[in-house]
């Protein structure tokens, strides 16, 4: 009996060690995916928007990304139903049409995310990639403020201090950019630093509000991540088409929907469409500290790459500002101290209806992932 119990304990210990090793590997894979997705989208958009020649219509790219995302999620839902078309059709009909009130709730965040995707193209087209990556971290500040106001969440002293550091760091980078703008921005008639800065600030405000609003309406929801993406994507496609008609209608009618599309443009669209979905899959293996580290590391990757690709000039002031932002992002992601008051727990209960991993995955799936919130980024 004793020998049997020892053998069973040894097997359990070996299995536990094996699972721990698998989880550790998955965390490293998740870190790599988050870093690559965060940095590559920004750098690739900046690259295709600064190339000479015919420029594609960004409004059509936003619509195309939404269509691809909807089709991908429909395929995943179909596979989950063992390729049963009838059962999948009934599920879609029930979730989207019969539960129309639940579907209509997503119209607001979908409108904001569509606006945000268009604004990100505007911002990255007018700002150096590294400057955009640093400034876009203001979405952490706006999300935190909207969480306190709308969800009655409580923040620790460390988190409040990190938000202050974040604001100071972004301000330092803007001062540096005003004094020493990137040559390609200062000398090009097609790029306007002020327009890019306004676009990224509005994008951060919309990201914060949409993320918190979406978290609020998700309370008690039983719909899957993929179904929510389909619902959001339907609204996003319709709203994107309206925006495209309003902004570029005559030009697209003359030149065509796919005007200016190259292989690199398609890479950007696929990254935008599938990046958020991919992050939604891996984010369950990444805790907040890992996500914060990934965002910080992606800033470094974007900055170093920008030096070689876009001749971006890094001076001491930019390094100080970016360093403050990186520290702030990491500090904000640290867990709260063990001693949390009951009032704090009550105030944060509004956002804890869903399991942590599922809620994080859903939030990451819907927020745009230009900078890691993810959406998301």
Reported as half-sphere exposure (CB side, CA atoms, 13 A), residue 121 has a value of 21
Strand, helix or coil for residue 151: coil
Quick check: 362 pLDDT over 70? no
Quick check: 197 pLDDT over 70? yes
Nearest partner of 108 among 50, 59, 150, judged by Cα: 150
Q: To the nearest whole percent, how much of the chain has pLDDT over 90?
A: 28
Any domain includes 119: yes
Quick check: 261 pLDDT over 90? yes
Any domain includes 351: no
The torsion angles phi and psi of 355, rounded to 5 degrees, stand at: -55, 150
Q: What's the pLDDT score for residue 225? A: 75
Q: What's the pLDDT score for residue 308? A: 85
Give the largest Cα separation in the chain, rounded.
Answer: 83
Q: How many helices (H) and strands (E) does the chain have?
A: 16, 0
Any domain includes 324: yes
Any domain includes 114: yes
Q: What's the pLDDT score for residue 153? A: 85
Token pair for 25: 């590997």
Angle ∠(230,280,120) on CA atoms, nearest 5: 75
Q: Give the DSSP H/E element, type plus range, for residue 367.
A: none
Supply the mean pLDDT for the chain.
Answer: 79
Any domain includes 79: yes
Q: What's the pLDDT score for residue 216? A: 78
Q: Which domain, by its residues, includes 90?
A: 24-178+190-333
Any domain includes 264: yes
Instruction: Give the burial class of 99: count Cβ atoms within 10 A of its Cβ; 0-12 exposed, 13-18 middle, 19 or more buried.
Output: middle
DSSP 350: G
Q: Where residue 265 falls among pLDDT bands split at 50, 70, 90?
A: very high
Q: What's the pLDDT score for residue 25? A: 76
Q: Where residue 329 falls among pLDDT bands split at 50, 70, 90?
A: confident
Any domain includes 111: yes
Q: Where residue 253 falls among pLDDT bands split at 50, 70, 90?
A: very high
Contact assessment for residue 109 and residue 228, using Cβ atoms and an 8 Å cutoff: no
Domains identified in the chain, total number: 1
Q: What's the pLDDT score for residue 2? A: 54
Any domain includes 183: no
Predicted confidence (pLDDT) per residue in 44-98, tens digit: 999 998 888 888 999 999 999 999 999 999 999 999 888 889 899 999 998 888 8
């Amino acid at each position: 009996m004793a020998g049997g119990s020892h053998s069973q304990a040894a097997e359990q210990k070996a299995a536990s060690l094996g699972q721990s090793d698998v989880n550790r590997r998955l965390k490293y894979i998740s870190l790599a995916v988050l870093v690559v997705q965060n940095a590559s989208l920004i750098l690739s958009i900046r690259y295709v928007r600064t190339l000479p020649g015919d420029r594609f219509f960004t409004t059509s790219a936003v619509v195309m990304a939404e269509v691809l995302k909807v089709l991908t999620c429909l395929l995943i839902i179909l596979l989950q139903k063992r390729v049963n078309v009838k059962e999948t059709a009934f599920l879609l009909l029930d979730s989207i049409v019969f539960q129309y009130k639940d579907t209509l709730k997503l119209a607001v965040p979908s409108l904001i995310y569509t606006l945000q995707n268009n604004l990100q193209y505007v911002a990255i087209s007018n700002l150096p990639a590294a400057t955009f990556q640093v400034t876009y971290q203001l979405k952490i500040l706006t999300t935190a403020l909207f969480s306190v106001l709308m969800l009655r969440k409580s923040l620790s002293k460390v988190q409040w201090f990190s938000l202050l550091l974040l604001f100071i760091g972004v301000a330092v980078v803007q001062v540096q950019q005003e004094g020493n703008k990137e040559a390609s921005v200062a000398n090009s008639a097609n790029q306007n630093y002020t327009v890019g800065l306004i676009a990224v600030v509005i994008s951060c405000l919309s990201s914060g509000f949409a993320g918190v609003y979406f978290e609020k309406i998700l309370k008690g929801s039983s719909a899957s991540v993929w179904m929510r993406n389909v619902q959001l994507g339907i609204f996003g496609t319709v709203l994107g088409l309206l925006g495209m008609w309003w902004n570029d209608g005559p030009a697209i009618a003359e030149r065509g929907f796919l005007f200016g599309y190259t292989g690199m443009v398609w890479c950007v669209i696929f990254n935008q469409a599938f990046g958020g979905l991919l992050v939604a899959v891996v984010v369950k293996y990444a805790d907040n500290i890992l996500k914060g580290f990934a965002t910080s590391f992606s800033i470094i990757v974007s900055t170093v790459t920008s030096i070689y690709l876009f001749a971006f000039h890094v001076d001491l002031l930019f390094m100080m500002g970016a360093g403050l932002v990186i520290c702030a992002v990491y500090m904000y992601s640290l867990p709260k101290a063990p001693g949390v008051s009951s009032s704090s727990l009550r105030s944060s209960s509004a956002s804890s209806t869903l399991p942590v991993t599922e809620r994080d995955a859903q939030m990451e799936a819907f927020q745009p992932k230009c900078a890691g919130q993810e959406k998301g980024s």
